[in-house]
Amino acid sequence: MSDTHPVLELIHTRLSTERFEPGPTLSEDEIRELIEDAIQAPSSFNIQHWRFVALRNPEEKKRLRAAAYGQALVEDAAVTFIVLGDVRGHEKLAGILQSSVDAAVISRRKADRWVEMSDKIYADGQLARDEAIRSATLAAMTLMLAASARGLSSAPLIGFDPERLQKEFAIPEHCLPVMLVCVGRAAEGNPARKVRMGADRVLAFDRGRVF
Amino acid sequence: MSDTHPVLELIHTRLSTERFEPGPTLSEDEIRELIEDAIQAPSSFNIQHWRFVALRNPEEKKRLRAAAYGQALVEDAAVTFIVLGDVRGHEKLAGILQSSVDAAVISRRKADRWVEMSDKIYADGQLARDEAIRSATLAAMTLMLAASARGLSSAPLIGFDPERLQKEFAIPEHCLPVMLVCVGRAAEGNPARKVRMGADRVLAFDRGRVF
């Protein structure tokens, strides 16, 4: 195994930016490219629960900032994404898998079985909600690494009032706000990365214990 | 922005492997390296809710397979990680932030404020649980991309019986099984990537709607 792959370097140097340089914007095409990267993440049965609202209009970012306890980075970032998870995502699975059936990546029979299984599994509301969080988060992590690869800085945020956000941006109840992701140019003087616990603090082998 | 960064290539070609070549193993050091990569993910207040149990012993993987509805990849992968989220992770925050205070990455005052805020926020059990899922998932995505960078294949799995898994591996109640991640060598003949919905199906700008 090699330690020198650019992905590893990027993973080890990515910084959750605290302060963005206000001013620079991203075009709709640049934002669309970031999302094309993000949606390459995996998801249960390929349900793709992720939904994104990209705020780049200054007025919209200001409204979001108010729902995010006034945090400046929400407004200063070139774009701030509201990353949502559709808790009813599985209801769309048959339609979603059709393009994989058409591309002969999955058989009709297997696709039908997946739809049946996911309907059964996600009838449990807690599981459906958990899965929406998981899928949206897998896409959010991919989005942040893609942003780094494209020379941009990013920050994930969970400090917002979900009810206010949902109301303010007319987000329907089945789309759960999972996190905000700010993307833009880092300002000078951002603090360094927080120190991580080492692997040995969080990793057990086989019957080892780490709890 | 450049489209040609190796990270973007890797994001767009990563495949959730369905079949692994049984046999090859990874050393404890190689596994530890993968986890060192994974734990570079961000987490709320740097709480690092993620915990990993790495199963590489054939008997342990067999037991896990039984708790994962008999899915062969759990056993065939060189290592299968049980990725957990510590719903009580925030209780350890003061100790965790001490190394960042020591490294002068965060002030004592700010660290104290973070501890106070996170105690308050995560007194809400639902939020604490959601956060454990989010952190563990951010690390899991980073782990899968790191595995690709290291020339390995991976697969995320949510098809397991959480109660059985928790009991079988003596995982305490506060550590929530969030997902399994299999890592190893892909066997020949894995199916191609499932087709994604395009960005325009999941992305809205400002006041646009995508729900």
Whose structure tokens read 């079949």? B19
- Mean per-residue pLDDT of chain A: 95
Chain A contact for B95 (CB, 8 A cutoff): no
On the 0-12 / 13-18 / 19+ scale of CB atoms within 10 A, A125 is exposed
CA nearest A44 in B: which residue? B158
Is A79:A56 a contact under the CB 8 Å cutoff?
Answer: yes
Closest partner CB to B42 (pick from A102, A156, A174): A156
Is B92:B122 a contact under the CB 8 Å cutoff?
Answer: no
Closest partner CB to B11 (pick from A146, A205, A207): A146
**pLDDT for res B64:** 97
Is B11:A142 a contact under the CB 8 Å cutoff?
Answer: yes
**What superfamily would CATH give domain B7-202?**
NADH Oxidase (3.40.109.10)
For strand A203-205 and strand B50-55, is the pairing parallel, antiparallel, or unpaired?
parallel
Residues 6+ apart with CB under 8 A from A191: A18, B105, B106
Angle subtended at Cα A51 by Cα B82 and Cα A113, rounded to the nearest 5 degrees: 60
The number of CA neighbours under 13 Å toward the Cβ of B71 is 22
**pLDDT for res B3:** 61
**Helical (H) or strand (E) element with A81:** strand A79-86
- 3-state SS of chain B is CCCCCHHHHHHHHCCECCCECCCCCCCHHHHHHHHHHHCCCCCHHHCCCEEEEEECCHHHHHHHHHHCCCCHHHHHCCEEEEEEEECCHHHHHHHHHHHHHHCCCCCHHHHHHHHHHHHHHCCCHHHHHHHHHHHHHHHHHHHHHHHHHCCCEEEEECCCCHHHHHHHCCCCCCEEEEEEEEEECECCCCCCCCCCCCHHHHEEECCCCCC
CA nearest B8 in A: which residue? A146
ipTM of the complex: 0.97
Residues of chain A positioned with their CB less than 8 A from the CB of B175: 211
The CB density around residue A23, as the number of other CB atoms within 10 Å, is 9
**Helical (H) or strand (E) element with A205:** strand A203-205
| Cα–Cα distance, A148 to B7 (Å, whole number) | 9
Q: What is the pLDDT along chain B (211 residues), one digit of tens a residue?
A: 446 789 999 999 999 999 999 988 899 999 999 999 999 999 999 999 999 999 999 999 999 999 999 999 999 999 999 999 999 999 999 999 999 999 999 999 999 999 999 999 999 999 999 999 999 999 999 999 999 999 999 999 999 999 999 999 999 999 999 999 999 999 999 999 999 999 999 999 998 887 7
Enumerate the domain spans of chain B. 7-202
Chain A contact for B174 (CB, 8 A cutoff): yes
DSSP state of A13: H
Residues 6+ apart with CB under 8 A from B74: B61, B64, B65, B68, B80, B157, B180, B182
**pLDDT for res A163:** 95
Q: What is the pLDDT along chain A (211 residues), one digit of tens a residue?
A: 446 789 999 999 999 999 999 988 899 999 999 999 999 999 999 999 999 999 999 999 999 999 999 999 999 999 999 999 999 999 999 999 999 999 999 999 999 999 999 999 999 999 999 999 999 999 999 999 999 999 999 999 999 999 999 999 999 999 999 999 999 999 999 999 999 999 999 999 998 887 7
A145–B195 C-beta distance less than 8 A: no
Chain A contact for B103 (CB, 8 A cutoff): yes
| Cα–Cα distance, B35 to B45 (Å, whole number) | 20
Q: Please name the residues between 188 and 207 in chain A that touch chain B, using a CB distance below 8 Å.
A: 191-200, 202-207
How big is chain B, counted in residues?
211
Is A175:A82 a contact under the CB 8 Å cutoff?
Answer: no
Chain A contact for B66 (CB, 8 A cutoff): no
DSSP state of A202: H
**pLDDT for res B1:** 43
Residues 6+ apart with CB under 8 A from B130: A133
Architecture of domain A6-202: 3-Layer(aba) Sandwich (3.40)
Chain B contact for A3 (CB, 8 A cutoff): yes
